[in-house]
Amino acid sequence: MVEVLLFHHVQGLTAGVRAFADDVRAAGHVVHAPDLFEGRTFGTIDEGMAHARELGDAVHERAGSVAAGLPESLVYAGFSMGGGIAQRLAQTRPGARGALLYETCYPITGEWAFGPWPEGVPAQVHGMGADPFFAEEEGDVDAARQLVAAHPDLAELHLYRGDRHLFADRSLPSHDPEAAALLLERTLAFLDRVSRRLPASAHAAPQTGS
C-alpha cells in the first residue's frame, strides 16, 4: 500500500479525476485528491487557466496546506497543472516516495527548476507524443528526457500515440480510453514497485510506449 497525494488539472477536480483516484484506491492504495479550486470546474483548458491565473499563489498555498497535514512519505501525483505542483513537492518536501507526472515535467536544472532531483525518489512521466502542450509548446517532454538521462535508474518517460491533452480524464472529450488504460496500468505497476521499494530498472520498464 502506498499513500498518494493527487492534484487535479486546470479544469478542476472533475468526475474523471475523481474516477482515476478511485481506480488507484481500488488497487489498495490510499489516495488524497484535494480540490484546489474549491468546487469549481471548467469546460475548457483556457477557462481553467484564466481561473488559475486569478488565484495566483493561492493554488500552491492550498496544495502546500494539504500536504502539510499528511505524512511526509507520499507519492506525489498530478495532471498537467497538478503535475507541476506534485513535482515541486516531490523535489522540495522531505520524505517523498515517488512522483507521477501526467502531461507535465519541469526541468531539473536552470531558472525554472525546483532544485536537483532528490536522491532515491523514483518518477514516471506520461504524455502524448504530439500533445501541443506537453510535447511542443512548453518543452515538458524535453525536461522529461533530461530527467531520465540524468537519473536512468529512477525515472521513466512513457509517450503515447496521439495529440490529446488530459487524455486520461474520462469525463472530458479529450479522453483516449486505450491510452488511459495503459497509463493506469503503468501507474499501478509503479506504485507496486514503490511499495516493495524496488528500483524501476529492476523491472526493465520501457522509457517509451505506444
CATH number of the domain where residue 178 is located = 3.40.50.1820
Average confidence score pLDDT of the chain? 92
What tens digit of pLDDT does each residue of 73-97 get?
999 999 999 999 999 999 999 999 9
With contact defined as beta carbons under 8 Å apart, do 124 and 175 qualify?
no
Tell me, yes or no, whether 197 lies in a domain.
yes
What are the distances in angstroms from CA 142 to CA 94, 125, 136? 26, 11, 9
Nearest to 113 by CA among 145, 136, 147, 82: 147
Q: What percent of the chain has pLDDT over 70?
A: 93
For 158, the domain range is: 3-201
Domain count, the chain: 1
What tens digit of pLDDT does each residue of 19-65 get?
999 999 999 999 999 999 999 999 999 998 999 899 988 999 999 99
CA dihedral over 50, 109, 154, 4, signed as positive or negative: negative
Tell me, yes or no, whether 206 lies in a domain.
no
What are the distances in angstroms from CA 79 to CA 111, 199, 203? 22, 23, 25
Output the pTM of the full model: 0.91
Give the pLDDT of residue 110: 87
Tell me, yes or no, whether 209 lies in a domain.
no
> What are 210's three cell numbers?
505506444
**Numbers of helices and strands, H then E, in the chain:** 6, 6
CA–CA dist 49, 190 (Å, integer) = 30
Look-up: residue for cell 512522483?
99
Length of the chain: 210
